[in-house]
Chain A
Amino acid sequence: MRRVVVTGLGLVTPLGGDVETSWQNLIAGESGAGQITRFDPEGQKATIACEVKGKDHLWGFDPDKRVDHKVQRQVDPFIVYGIDAAGQALEDAGLTDMTDAEKERTGCSIGAGIGGLPGIEIESVNLHERGPGRVSPHFVHGRLINLVTGQVQIKYGFMGPNHAVVTACSTGAHSIGDAARMIAMDDADVMLAGGAESTVNPLGIAGFAQARALNTGYNDRPTEASRPYDKDREGFVMGEGAGVVVLEEYERAKARGATIYAEVTGYGLSGDAYHVTAPHPEGKGAELAMRMALKKAGLGPGDIDYVNAHGTSTMADTIELAAVKRVLGDDLSGASMSSTKSAIGHLLGGAGAVEAVFCILAMRDGIVPPTLNLHNPDDGTEGIDLVPLKAKKREVRAVLNNSFGFGGTNASLIMQKVD
């Protein structure tokens, strides 16, 4: 099997419109949460979210940099975020000027968990109030999940695999794992892989609140709402954004002198076979995914330095932790584990990809990001380094990134430094 490495990174997050702004804010302990500004949240059970900021904000995102005006008008925000993050990753990798032959061997695997819910909501109201003749001709292809991949391949002329994963909150991790396998299996030499999401709209917030998944008790204290592993946690905070990495066949990356951030060495997938929204109470599916990833990487429990947890700030946090303990040992064999959802909220289909980028930056800089708001760790967390409140310096050579989603879908990725 061919080796697969990461050579480019792109992020659009509630902490920044690019990789470095997002990362510096993350390790500084900033929170991306606030009152919802995208619409008037009055009457909603949850009135807070981690929104991507506008270009006037210090950490803002400027869609005009990489996304055509016409495209911006026609598509949902998740597609705009995805196109921009993919562009950033390509520029970072130095791959904006490929030959036609290279483009035929370059593909995309950029998914989403839900896709264009805001546009579906708007056009449904439009249909009801004004009739079918007023529905936008761009309605369908401006909302489809695979249209981040579609738009990116059209923009850059890539003719390799055109793929999009839809596995709820595991999408980002599955997207990277699947794309790595496509390169390993010689379907492509380069893949842009990741996830994007934006469901900060009335229907999205109401739907997750009704499913009893969202935090609704901290509306007056938004930056304290996402508190994974804390005894007072009570639901996730909606996030939005996108994360995309450039994956490349190792020999090719080495030959062109690319910056190699990490190697994707392990990928594990499993299903819970238990409940549509609740995880298996013993975390059996999560454990299976982690064990598979470790086996593929040929690593033992003591080899993992950092775990980026799924850790959504729900009751499921301790289920995941128990599963991680069974795999890595009661003290995680010295690994640090944190949930960056404490700072950026839950990006659903974008989460696994954004978190993979954070894992890579933790290896690059030798610093693990914090779990914010962790003042009273829950039972079962004793003796484990959950990186409470402040980022921490430590050498990181191997990372485990977990993502779990509705439908009982689990994905674990392992990435390592390349010497």
Chain B
Amino acid sequence: MSDTADRVQKIVVEHLGVEGDKVTQEASFIDDLGADSLDIVELVMAFEEEFGVEIPDDAAEKISTVGDATKYIEEHKG
């Protein structure tokens, strides 16, 4: 697992209170990890903080899986 994926997984585990092995790159925040739309807002804020990236609302709306988040961060982090 890449460093980014590893850190994304940790944040998701901490915020959603789910088991680490459920947080696969394919896992959907809402369908698989029990998040609601506000949880995703909070997760996006946590990713921004952790990686020093800005994730605008229109980009955030397209993030539905853990992999989507990892990919976006990889492409935009400094």
Contacts and interface: CB of A to CB of B under 8 A. Distances in A.
A70 interface: yes
B38 A138 contact: yes
A138 B17 contact: no
B42 A136 contact: yes
A137 B38 contact: yes
B45 interface: yes
A128 interface: no
Contact of B17 (A70, A134, A136): A70
A73 interface: yes
A133 to B, nearest CB: 8
Nearest to B34: A70
Interface string B2-35: 0000000000000111000000000000000010
Interface in A62-102: 68-70, 73
The interface residues of chain A, by DSSP majority, are classed as helix
Contact of B45 (A68, A73, A134): A134
Nearest to B54: A133
Interface string B28-50: 00000010001101100100000
- In which size bucket is the chain B interface? under 10
A178 B40 CA distance: 38
A70 B15 contact: yes
A137 B17 contact: no
Contacts of A137: 38, 41-42, 45
A398 B52 CA distance: 63
B17 A73 contact: yes
Contacts of B38: 137-138
A68 B15 CA distance: 11
A70 B42 contact: no
19 contacts: A68-B17, A69-B17, A70-B15, A70-B16, A70-B17, A70-B34, A70-B39, A73-B15, A73-B17, A133-B45, A134-B45, A136-B42, A136-B45, A137-B38, A137-B41, A137-B42, A137-B45, A138-B38, A138-B42
Interface of B: 15-17, 34, 38-39, 41-42, 45
Interface of A: 68-70, 73, 133-134, 136-138
Given A70-B16, A137-B45, 17 more contacts: A68-B17, A69-B17, A70-B15, A70-B17, A70-B34, A70-B39, A73-B15, A73-B17, A133-B45, A134-B45, A136-B42, A136-B45, A137-B38, A137-B41, A137-B42, A138-B38, A138-B42
